Copies of this chain bind each other. A is one copy, B any other.
Amino acid sequence: MSTTGSNTGGTPGNTTGSTARGAEETRRALLAAAGELFTSAGYDRTSVRAIAERAGVNQSLLFRYFGNKEALFAQVVAAQGLDVLHGGPPEELLERTLRSILHRDGEATGGLFDSALRSAASSEAVDAVRDELGSAYGAAFADLTGEAGGGGEDAALRAELLLGWLLGINLLRNVFRSEAVRSADPDVVVGHVSRAAGALLGAVDSDLCDS
C-alpha cells in the first residue's frame, strides 16, 4: 500500500501519513502491546483502549484483527508459551525459570507466569493459561522425574507440583512482594529450591545424601 500524498492527519478514516502501515504490522503491534499489558496488569485490568493506544492504532482494529479481547489474550499467552519453549534446552528449564523469577528487578514483569498469575480471576482467561502452562512446562519437567530423569512414576503429577511451586514463588516474590523471598540472595533460594525439587523429582538423591 503506497503512502504517497500529503499527511491530512486527524481526518476520520485517514490512512495517509504515518498511521497506515499494513495489517501485519498493526497486528504485530497489538500483540506486543497486549502482551505487555496482560503481563503487568492482568486480563481484567487491561482495557482494549489501553492496548490500542499502546500499539498506536484505533481500538476497533483490535476487533477487526482478533475478533475480541479473549481471543487476543489466547494468542498472547500462546506466544508467551512459545517463548518459554524457545528460551533454551528443556533440561535447563527449571533453573532458567527460577533465575528469571529471582533476578526480576523493580517493576519489571515476565511472560507467561505473570499473565497467568494476574489473570487467575478471569474466567475467559483461565483455560488458555492452563493449556499454555501445560504445553510450555509439562513435558520438560516430567522428563526430570525418576532416578535418572527421563520420566518416572507420577511424572505428570510431579511436574505439575514443580510448576505450581515456581508459580507460587513468583507470586510471593514478584506479585505480593513478600519480604523474605524478595530480599534473599537468589543463590540461597536456588539452593533450597533445588534440594527440595530433587526430593520431589527423585533425580538427584545421591547428591542430597552428601549434604
| A167 to B24 alpha-carbon distance, docked (Å) | 40
Question: 23 A-B Cβ contacts within 8 A?
Answer: A42-B121, A118-B121, A119-B121, A120-B175, A126-B176, A129-B176, A130-B177, A133-B176, A134-B178, A156-B179, A158-B192, A161-B169, A161-B196, A164-B165, A164-B168, A164-B172, A168-B169, A171-B171, A192-B200, A195-B200, A196-B199, A199-B208, A205-B208
| A143 to B197 alpha-carbon distance, docked (Å) | 21
Contact with A199, one of B158, B189, B198 (Cβ below 8 angstroms):
B198
Instruction: Tell me the residues in window 154-211 of chain A with beta carbons closer than 8 Å to chain B beta carbons.
Output: 154, 156-161, 163-169, 171-173, 175-181, 184, 188-189, 192-193, 195-200, 205, 208-209, 211
CB-defined contacts of A119 to chain B, threshold 8 Å: 121
CB-defined contacts of A130 to chain B, threshold 8 Å: 172, 176-178
CB-defined contacts of A29 to chain B, threshold 8 Å: none
Contact with A171, one of B134, B164, B179 (Cβ below 8 angstroms):
B164
Give how many A residues have a beta carbon under 8 Å from the other chain's beta carbons: 56
CB-defined contacts of A120 to chain B, threshold 8 Å: 42, 117-118, 120-121, 171, 175-176
Q: Count the copies.
A: 2
Contact with A159, one of B156, B164, B180 (Cβ below 8 angstroms):
B180
Contacts A119-B121, A167-B167, A193-B200 known; 7 new A-B pairs at CB < 8 A? A133-B178, A154-B188, A157-B188, A159-B180, A161-B193, A163-B172, A199-B199
- A78 in contact (CB, < 8 A): no
- A25 in contact (CB, < 8 A): no
- A44 in contact (CB, < 8 A): yes
- A85 in contact (CB, < 8 A): no
